[in-house]
Amino acid sequence: MKTDKLPRVVIVGAGFGGLKTAQKLAHAPVQITLIDRYNYHLFQPLLYQIAIAGLVPSQIAYPLRTIFRRQKNLTFQMGEISAVDFDARYVRTNGSVIAYDYLVLAVGGEANFFGLRAVEENSFQLKSIESATSTRNHLLRMFERASREADPDKRRALLTFVVVGAGPTGVETAGALAELITHVMTKDYPEMDLQESRVLLIEATGSVMAAYPDELRQATMDLLQGKNVEILLNARLTDYNGQRITLADGGHINAYTLIWTAGVRSAELTDRLGVQQAAARRVRVEPSLQLPQHPDVFVIGDAAYVEDKQGQPLPMLATVAQQQAEAAAKNIRKILKGEKPQPFQYKDPGLLATIGRNAAVARIWGLSFSGFIAWVIWVMLHIYRLIGFRNRLVVLINWAWDYFFYDNQVRLITRE
Amino acid sequence: MKTDKLPRVVIVGAGFGGLKTAQKLAHAPVQITLIDRYNYHLFQPLLYQIAIAGLVPSQIAYPLRTIFRRQKNLTFQMGEISAVDFDARYVRTNGSVIAYDYLVLAVGGEANFFGLRAVEENSFQLKSIESATSTRNHLLRMFERASREADPDKRRALLTFVVVGAGPTGVETAGALAELITHVMTKDYPEMDLQESRVLLIEATGSVMAAYPDELRQATMDLLQGKNVEILLNARLTDYNGQRITLADGGHINAYTLIWTAGVRSAELTDRLGVQQAAARRVRVEPSLQLPQHPDVFVIGDAAYVEDKQGQPLPMLATVAQQQAEAAAKNIRKILKGEKPQPFQYKDPGLLATIGRNAAVARIWGLSFSGFIAWVIWVMLHIYRLIGFRNRLVVLINWAWDYFFYDNQVRLITRE
């Protein structure tokens, strides 16, 4: 067992950051343990497709043991981290204790409700397969209930779908949901008048897609409105009881469905580490992504607070996590060779969001695209980024099918 | 609304029987309401493929509203029947009351544990998407747990998988499970010695596949043993606590997994109808499938007790349900025309079961097949019988892929 003498790298979390770190250390003289509470890597940007019954979980999730079958220096362990001891250098999971020489915390993020507890309890999220599947089951159930509801006010509330937060996830969800209703549900429920149905996108700030340039924000608004999504800007939620939304200006919206995409914060674990935190629970790190006072610990992705050159915190995006993973892996290799770790610098690869079938907005190579061309870029890029050739093939067939026949396949209401 | 004057046919259950009845009445002068507690038709013969992570639910389930989009004389309603009033002629669902002129009860079956309550509580079933998904999650979790279990006895128990009942479902499950372990899990868990793993098939009678001719029973035994499935005949369970099986002869088997396929009985609803019942809760019907004293009610499929010419009860099979559906639909048309309903006669279409990859046994056109030819027949027939061209295409890709690369795709452990 000569590998026993190699430095032990423990990576916590197999999202975009953890996965990339593990892959970048494939040929490093280390012994890696990758820990995740799930046994699969999840392609989170497409979770909203689960919610609108466009894809099924296995198309966007891929078993970690299969991904790493050929990587001999890595062991996967399914488990949840309960504590980390930075001094004794071990992590504790449900059931075992794993010692490390180097630790990479890539624990990801979760929905941030900013203290609105009632909203948190009564709304749906798109952060895991389970929450996205719940959202799908709920959405479909609303149509079934509406189909046998005689009271027109209640029926309208059952058919009012509110998405909160007009970032990329909110915009993509609202656009895809509007299309599902217009092109699929109208056929499945010929007995109902789906003109009664509404999709609302509520945003607390004055614009959709805050990170995008002006012309793409306008294009997003136009594309969404063309799909009958109603956009409410400068509108802030204060309460939701599962049937009625209360806004800060005193207004009310009757809706049985609220999908929350308005905020992300670091996973709860970061609160229990006893380290310095910034906004949204994120862990303050050195420019090299090392934890202050603990140079053998790296924090990357949603869980890490890193500022860009303008002093703004880097967004919680897959591209940030992946670039930080490369930097962390490179710095671990440097330390092993006795070299000094380098500071991380984020290179913005552009922005890209889809708005239902055949329309998207993109900012790539300094250029803005919107409409069909942007959508083609989006489809190709997302299919390319999915792991596993068979998954890509099946997703491609599904999308091609949906594109030509407008028929989402998976409108199953399963019981949880 | 001239359809309001047409006779109302209510069909309860959208399994093989209910679905076929509805389709056969598509051009009849009736107004149909199809009721099911799920919003999809499930291709039950492939449920075991969900359990062994070979297929995903959407590949064997198809939304009912989509199936019946073009059938103008049918309305689907998702709901669970709580009561039937045969005199006042209505069914009661959660929330509504639906009157009928003709009623077709195609409520299907559920697992029969013959009063073994402890076994029922601690074992897994393959009767619904939820139970099959639970089975999959549990199976995969056993490998994860075993991978970090130091105690060899406990590890062996975690890796001992017992299937009870050597009918087609049990044989198919045991065979596919053995292959999953040999060809996929050994690659996913290179650190474990999966020689420790066992698949046992326990059968209370003296033979596997009781309904099959001798030469196919022998072929089944040979094929299963070739895949390292251990077969225990004349073995009857008396108790199971989730970790340890007790047999009638006093023997014990330590196993954390028991999949029960040893019995089927009619759905619980048939107990609450106040009608004459036979073994396994089945409803005694006239040779025309009508309920005695209630000629406007038909009972078909697993829920109906009908004897063949030899006085044996017809088995609970899809082919029986489908043939009875055709007979019931024909008899409803006859009654509408003032003619006399005809007695039902079952035509045995043959028998077919698969035993893992590239082997099956079949009895068709009076001939026995086993091995690869039978498997090719099985694959073609099952893909043909799946509903929806896209589903067939995707399942075909999956199976072709598995066949060439031995790589089941969907080993996701999801939380319920």
State residue B408's pLDDT score. 66
pLDDT at B226: 95
Instruction: Tell me which residue in A56, A394, A412 faces B397 most closely, judged by beta carbons.
Output: A394
Question: Is residue B130 among the annotated active site residues?
Answer: no
Please provide the DSSP assignment of B31-75 as one string: EEEEEESSSEEE-GGGHHHHHTTSS-HHHHEEEHHHHTTT-TTEE
Name the residue among B39, B40, B75 with its Cβ closest to that of A191.
Answer: B75
How far is the alpha carbon of B223 from chain A, nearest alpha carbon, in Å? Answer: 28
Nearest C-alpha of chain B: how many angstroms from A349? 31
Residue B62: its pLDDT value, please? 92
Residue A92, classed as helix, strand or coil, is strand
A204 and A306 in a single domain? The answer is: no
Query: Looking at beta carbons, which residues of chain B come within 8 Å of A75?
Result: 191
Q: Which of chain B's residues have a Cβ under 8 Å away from the Cβ of A390?
A: 397-398, 401, 409
Domain closes at, from A262, A294, A327: A262
The CATH number of whichever domain residue B154 belongs to comes to 3.50.50.100
Q: How many residues does chain A have?
A: 416
Considering only the beta carbons, identify the residue of B63, B388, B409 that sits closest to A412.
Answer: B63
pLDDT tens-digit map of B91-138: 999 878 999 999 999 999 999 999 999 999 999 999 999 999 999 999
Cβ distance of B414 and A129 shorter than 8 Å:
yes
Beta bridge partners of B254: B244
B95 contacts A58? CB cut-off 8 A: no
Residue of B nearest to A58 (CA): B410
Residue B280, in any domain of the structure: yes
Å between A19 CA and nearest CA of chain B:
17
Encoded tokens for B12 = 């309860």
Q: With contacts defined as CB-CB under 8 Å, which chain A residues touch B38?
A: 412-413
Cβ contacts of residue B56 below 8 Å, gap of 6+? A56, A57, A58, B50, B410
Record: contact B414-A388, CB cut-off 8 A: no
**Closest in B75, B130, B188 to A415, CB measured:** B130
Are residues B248 and B387 located together in one domain of the fold?
A: yes
Q: How does residue B1 score in pLDDT terms, banded at 50, 70 and 90?
A: very low
Sign for the pseudo-dihedral over CA of B207, B211, B217, B223: negative
Q: Write down the catalytic residue from B110, B172, B179, B203.
A: B172
In terms of phi and psi (left: phi > 0; alpha: psi -120 to 50; beta: otherwise), the region of A197 is beta
Q: Are A304 and A265 in contact (CB under 8 A)?
A: no
Residue A414 and residue B130: Cβ atoms within 8 Å?
A: yes
> Cα separation of B188 and A350, whole Å?
36
Q: Which residues of A touch B56 (CB under 8 A)?
A: 56-58
Q: Taking the model in full, what pTM does it have? A: 0.92
Q: Which residues contact B48 (CB under 8 A, 6 or more apart)?
A: B126, B132, B169, B172, B173, B176
Distances (CA, A) of A55 to A397, A401, B292, B415: 11, 12, 47, 18
Which residue numbers in chain A have pLDDT < 70?
Answer: 1-4, 407-409, 416
A256 lies in the same domain as A271: no
Residues A320 and A185 in one domain: no
Q: Within a domain: residue A385?
A: no
Listed in sequence order, the residues at least 6 apart from A53 whose beta carbon sits closer than 8 Å to its beta carbon are A136, A139, A140, A180, A408, A409, A410, A411, A412
Please answer yes or no on whether B189 and A65 come within 8 Å at the CB atom.
Answer: yes
Are A187 and B69 a contacting pair at CB < 8 A? yes
Instruction: Report the distance separating Cα A358 and Cα A379, nearest Å.
Output: 9
Residues A213 and A283 in one domain: no
State whether B158 and B204 are in the same domain. Answer: yes
Query: B403 pLDDT exceeds 80?
Result: no
Inter-chain contact A57–B412, Cβ cutoff 8 Å? Answer: yes
B187 alpha carbon, distance to own chain's centre: 31
Residues in A touching B151 (Cβ below 8 Å): none
**CA B334 to CA B342: how far, in whole Å?**
9
Residue A347 zone, left/alpha/beta (φ > 0; ψ -120 to 50; rest): beta
Q: Are residues A177 and A271 in the same domain?
A: no
Sequence-separated (6 or more) residues with CB below 8 Å from residue A224: A171, A174, A175, A178, A201, A208, A231, A355
**Looking at the structure, do residues A206 and A136 belong to the same domain, yes or no?**
yes
Asked whether the beta carbons of residue B397 and residue A390 sit closer than 8 angstroms, the reply is yes
Give the nearest partner residue to A39 out of B95, B144, B409, using CB atoms: B144
For chain B, the residue count is 416
B177-194 burial string, b = 16+ CB within 10 Å, else e? bbbbbbbbbeebbeebeb
Q: A61 vs B412: CB contact, 8 Å cut-off? A: yes
The percent helix, strand, coil of chain B (3-state, each to 5) is 40, 25, 35
Q: Are residues B224 and B354 in the same domain?
A: yes
* Statement to judge: residues B365 and B229 lie in one domain: yes
Find residue A63's DSSP bridge partners. A40
Domain boundary among A262, A290, A318: A262
Query: Distance between CA B335 and CA B342 in Å, rounded?
Result: 10
Nearest in space to B390 (alpha carbons), one of A408, A183, A244, A148: A408
Q: What is the three-class DSSP state of A275? A: coil
DSSP code at position A219: H
Report the residue from B65, B147, B148 with minimal CB separation from A188.
Answer: B65
For residues A353 and A360, give the distance between their C-alpha atoms in angstroms, rounded to a whole number: 6
* Residues in Cβ contact with A23 at an 8 Å cutoff, skipping those fewer than 6 apart: A71
Tokens 């309305």, located at residue = B75
User: Considering only CA atoms, which of B281, B3, B4, B259 is closest in space to residue B134?
Assistant: B259
Only one residue has tokens 């048939």, namely B270
- Residues B169 and B228 occupy one common structural domain: yes
Domain end marker among A203, A227, A262: A262
Mutate to test the interface with A, among B41, B58, B92, B392 (most CBs of A within 10 A): B58
Question: Count of CB contacts below 8 A, A vs B?
Answer: 109
User: Which residue is listed with tokens 């504790």?
Assistant: A92
- The CATH number linked to B291 is 3.50.50.60
Instruction: Give the other-Cβ count within 10 Å of A206's Cβ.
Output: 8
B204-243 pLDDT, tens digit per residue, is 999 999 888 899 999 999 999 999 999 999 999 999 999 9
Q: What's the confidence (pLDDT) of residue A95?
A: 77
Q: How open is the CA angle A372-A376-A377, to the nearest 5 degrees?
A: 120
Q: Which residues pair with A78 in a beta bridge?
A: A36
Q: Is residue A92 part of a domain?
A: yes
Task: Give the gap in angstroms from C-alpha A290 to the nearest C-alpha of chain B.
Answer: 30
DSSP codes joined into one string, A38-84 = SSEEE-GGGHHHHHTTSS-HHHHEEEHHHHTTT-TTEEEEE--EEEE
| Residue B343, domain member (yes or no) | no
Closest CA to A416 of A133, A142, A122, A140: A133
Show the tokens assigned to B73. Answer: 């004389």
pLDDT of residue A381: 87
Handedness of CA B1, B4, B7, B9 (dihedral sign): positive
Give the model's pLDDT for residue A392.
Answer: 83
Q: Which residues of chain B make contact with A95, given a CB cutoff of 8 A?
A: 148
Give the distance from residue A256's alpha carbon to the nearest chain B alpha carbon, in angstroms. Answer: 18
Catalytic residue among A80, A110, A130, A172: A172
Structural tokens at position A157: 């509330």
- CA B304 to chain CA centroid, Å, is 16
- For B150, the closest chain A residue by CA position comes to A96
B-chain CB neighbours of A69 within 8 Å are 187-188, 190
CA distance linking residue B168 with residue B46, whole number of Å? 11
Q: How far apart are CA B151 and CA A211, in angstroms?
A: 54
Q: Is residue B243 assigned to a domain? A: yes
pLDDT at A414 (0 to 100):
83
Give the per-residue pLDDT at A333. 98
A354 and A370 in contact (C-beta within 8 Å)?
Answer: no
Residue A194 placed within a domain = yes
Same domain, A140 and A228: yes
Cβ pair B374, B359 in contact under 8 A:
yes
Which residue segment(s) compose the domain that A155 sits in? Answer: 117-262
Q: How far is B389 from chain A, CA to nearest CA, in Å?
A: 10
Q: Which residues contact B338 (CB under 8 A, 6 or more apart)?
A: none
Q: ipTM value of the model?
A: 0.89
Smallest CA–CA distance from B53 into chain A, residue: A58
Looking at every residue in chain B, the average pLDDT score rounds to 93
- Residue B411 counted as domain residue: no
Cα separation, A82 vs A288, in Å, equals: 26
Q: Is residue B62 part of a domain?
A: no
Among residues A328, A267, A348, A346, the alpha carbon closest in space to that of A303 is found at A267
Quick one: pLDDT at residue B267?
A: 96
Interacting residues of A142 by C-beta distance below 8 A, sequence separation 6+: A158, A159, A161, A256, A257
R_g over Cα of chain B: 22
Q: What is the mean pLDDT of residues B163-184?
A: 95
Residue type, A128: S
Enter the tokens of residue A229. Answer: 């999504």
Helix and strand totals (H; E) in chain B: 13, 25
Rounded to an integer, what distance in angstroms lies between the CA atom of residue A386 and that of residue A409? Answer: 19
Q: What is the per-residue pLDDT for A408?
A: 66
What is the DSSP track for B157-200? HHTEEEEE--SHHHHHHHHHHHHIIIIIIHHH-TTS-GGG-EEE
Burial per residue of B249-275, b for 16 or more beta-carbon CB atoms within 10 angstroms, e otherwise: eeeebebbbbbbbbbbbbbebbeebeb
Q: What is the tally of structural domains in chain B?
A: 2
Residue where the block lists tokens 């099986």 = B245
Cβ-based contacts of B69 with chain A (< 8 Å): 187-188, 190
Pairing of β A244-247 and β B97-99: unpaired
Distance from CA of A131 to the nearest CA of B (A): 10
Q: Which residues of B touch A (CB under 8 A)?
A: 38-40, 56-58, 61, 63, 65-66, 69, 75, 77-78, 95-96, 129-130, 133, 140, 144, 147-148, 187-191, 388, 390-391, 393-394, 397-398, 401, 407, 409-416
B386: pLDDT confidence band, cut at 50, 70 and 90? confident
